[in-house]
Amino acid sequence: MEQTNLVVSPDGKTWGEVTRDTSYIGNHLMNTICDIGSTSDSAINIFENWRGQTDASNNNTLKPNWIKDSFVPAFNSVVCLKEGSYQIMVRTYENAGTTSSIFINDVLVAEHYQAAGSAPNILNTYLKRGDTIQIKGQLYNTSFNYNQYSITKI
């Protein structure tokens, strides 16, 4: 017989409540990298690392990936579940002299030229429940330095 809602702590928390505590992450709601290889400048990027750690540079340097309760991954986008103000940060292949673009509900809202040594594309915005976020920009192999995507509550 399978047990559900098994109480495992003195204060009455269930196993699910104890093991899914992400409060230690703070306001950081999502962090991921793309390790599918190189893409073109006009490609909608598909991020697939949502949990655990990724060795994206093949140099045994692990990068943590997570996604908390305010967002959920879809095929080529992220869907907002909780209305609020957020900061979206994207870094694509900066040496390519290309752009990184942030789309919300299929509308271009931020575009940033990625030159060598440039800052990432950062957008502070207000999102409603159901809004979708897509990222376009050239990704390069599996490098932490270029394929970063994160969302923070502000």
CATH number at 136 reads: 2.60.120.40
Domain-embedded: residue 16: no
Higher pLDDT, 67 or 36: 67
11 pLDDT more than 70: yes
Domain-embedded: residue 3: no
Domain-embedded: residue 2: no
Query: What is each CA distance from 122 to 18, 107, 125, 135, 150, in whole angstroms?
Result: 33, 16, 10, 12, 10
Higher pLDDT, 34 or 71: 71
pLDDT (0 to 100) of residue 127: 97
2 pLDDT more than 60: no
Domain-embedded: residue 22: no
Domain-embedded: residue 8: no
Percent of the chain with pLDDT over 90: 25
pLDDT tens profile 63-117: 778 888 889 998 889 999 999 999 999 887 766 667 888 999 999 999 888 776 6
Question: How far is 12 from 5, CA to CA, in rounded Å?
Answer: 10
pLDDT (0 to 100) of residue 38: 60
C-beta separation of 66 from 150 below 8 A: no
Type of residue found at 92: T
pLDDT (0 to 100) of residue 104: 97
Q: What is the domain range of residue 31?
A: 27-153
Domain-embedded: residue 7: no
Domain-embedded: residue 42: yes
Number of domains composing the chain: 1
13 pLDDT more than 60: yes
142 pLDDT more than 80: no
Domain-embedded: residue 20: no
